Amino acid sequence: MKKLSLFLALILMLFLFAACSQEKQEDKPAILEVQLQTPDHIELNKETTLSCIVTYGGKKVDDADEVKFEVWKHGSEQHEMLTAKNDGNGKYSVKKTFTEPGTYSVVSHVTARNMHNMPKKDIIVGTASDQPQNHAEEHHGDEHHHADVMMMLHEKQFSVNKEAHLTVHITHDGQPLTKATVCFEIWKGDGKHEFIEASEKQAGQYEAVTSLREKGTYSVKIHVETEQLHEHQVEQIMVH
């Protein structure tokens, strides 16, 4: 009888533990997640679909309170707010035609289940030949915008799993920009962003070495800083 009582007590304890564990899992709050789906590179003057997938607790949300896409070109104070269409199965989208080349930011503002989520992504519009001569398009806070900073990435074709020498030539007022802090920010699609500090090899020429492990198109943002300026420029490179 004593052994039976101990056995029943053990079963009861296990049951209570399982019930408590299940209750804790059920009490775990669900999260509103938004997956922004936009191309990394968009053709100029061609209608493009910007979309996002909305989920809550892992389930698709088809009744979001509000979904809007905020779009603006770097260096411009004009922000366009576009109301998204509900495509069903958790997808919301807008269509937009970009008529000016450059780097743009896209933010999807999603309100649902009394929560708000607003992921952001930068995209490039147009090809290199479409881009204006001056790529230094952005203001940074109250810093002065230097329209006469020029950056030229020497090589844009690299081999996978081999040393890639990223070399950029930078000028300011037509003269080599020396003693600047230069960093390459590299990423592929929605993958992790890698930051590589460059060193000045000769006047106005900065170089960094990395190894790219996947084939495809990568984005490279060149960050340039001195005491008087802070500029950056986005380029694309191909890895074969």
pLDDT at 22: 55
pLDDT at 11: 66
pLDDT at 48: 94
* Token reading at 14: 């296990």
Model confidence, pTM: 0.49
Find the mean pLDDT for residues 106-117. Answer: 90
54-76 pLDDT, tens digit each: 999 899 999 999 999 999 888 77
Query: 204 with 177: CB under 8 angstroms?
Result: yes
Confidence at 18, pLDDT banded by 50, 70, 90:
low
What b/e readout covers 199-220, taking b as 16+ CB neighbours within 10 angstroms? Answer: ebeeebbbbbeeebeeeeebbb
Q: What is the rounded distance in angstroms from the CA atom of residue 73 to the CA atom of residue 33?
A: 25
Higher-pLDDT residue of 60 and 154 is 60
For each of the domains in the chain, give its residue range(s) and CATH number, in order of start: 32-125 (2.60.40.10), 149-239 (2.60.40.10)
